[in-house]
């Protein structure tokens, strides 16, 4: 009989990897209409527009988990969970080369400006924002073109996207 000793530090990561593999297998083995291959999901992560994949990510937890896993490996920017909570209504989020903030609109009380500032203007500019809540919800937003390293758009202050961006426990990906 073999006795395997699993390092406790690696156990959680191994469980996550097995769950991701299981999710990928489920997606690839689904034979119902609207099934999406892992390759098609990967193409979506790389920037290919696909309404079926967008809908699948919103509706299917396994697809959302696989999408998040692919984003972690391929996103231009990853803004992890904040270490500490902020007292601001819309806290600023930072990562290496990127700053994301919401600023309340003075003209429309129900709107906020989503402002993404990128320090390296030579690299490919992101076209999609994906925000994952700690409850595994996901909101995505197609971004307008950057101007001088700044991407700016208007969102509804009461939207799920604004709520997720206000929560320090969310993770944000730009691709």
**What pLDDT is stored for residue 103 in this prediction?**
92
* pTM attached to this predicted model: 0.78
Least confident of 117-121, 139-143, 154-158: 117-121
pLDDT band at 80 (very low <50, low <70, confident <90, very high): confident
Residue 96's domain comprises 77-174
pLDDT, average across residues 69-90: 80
| Cα end-to-end span (Å), the chain | 48
3 part of a folded domain: no
Last residue of a domain, one of 59, 74, 89: 74
Q: Please say if the pLDDT value at position 147 is more than 80.
A: yes
Residues 14 and 35 in one domain: yes
Answer whether residue 58 shows pLDDT above 60. yes
Residues 165 and 96 in one domain: yes
Asked if residue 34 has pLDDT above 70, the reply is no
pLDDT tens-digit profile of 116-125? 999 977 778 9
With beta carbons less than 8 A apart as the criterion, state whether 110 and 156 touch: yes
Average pLDDT, the chain: 85
pLDDT in tens, 86-137: 556 777 888 989 999 999 999 999 999 999 999 977 778 999 999 999 999 9
20, 96: one domain:
no
Range list of H helices, 60-128: 61-74
Q: What is the mean pLDDT of residues 43-64?
A: 91
Mean pLDDT to the nearest integer, 40-46 = 90
CB 91 within 8 A of CB 62: no
Q: What is the average pLDDT across 39-66?
A: 91
Q: Are 60 and 50 in contact (CB under 8 A)?
A: no
More confident residue, 38 or 174: 174
Residue 156 lies in a domain: yes
Q: How far apart are CA 101 and CA 81, in angstroms?
A: 14
Residue 119 falls within a domain, yes or no? yes
Residue 82 is part of a domain; what is its CATH number? 2.40.30
Q: What's the pLDDT score for residue 120?
A: 78
């Amino acid at each position: 009989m073999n006795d395997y000793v699993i390092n406790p530090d690696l156990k959680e990561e191994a469980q996550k990897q097995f769950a991701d593999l299981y999710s990928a297998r489920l997606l690839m083995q689904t034979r119902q209409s609207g099934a999406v291959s892992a390759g098609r999901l990967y193409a979506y992560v790389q920037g290919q527009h696909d309404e079926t994949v967008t809908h699948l990510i919103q509706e299917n937890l396994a697809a959302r988990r696989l999408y998040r896993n692919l984003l972690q490996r391929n996103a231009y920017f990853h803004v992890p969970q904040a270490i500490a909570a902020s007292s601001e209504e819309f806290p600023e989020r930072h990562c290496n080369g990127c700053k994301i903030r919401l600023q309340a609109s003075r003209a429309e009380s129900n709107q906020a400006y989503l402002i993404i500032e990128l320090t390296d203007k030579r690299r490919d500019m992101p076209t999609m924002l994906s925000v994952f809540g700690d409850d595994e919800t996901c909101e995505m937003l197609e971004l307008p073109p950057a101007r001088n390293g700044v991407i700016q758009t208007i969102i509804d202050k009461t939207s799920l996207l604004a709520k997720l961006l206000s929560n320090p426990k969310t993770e944000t990906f730009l691709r």
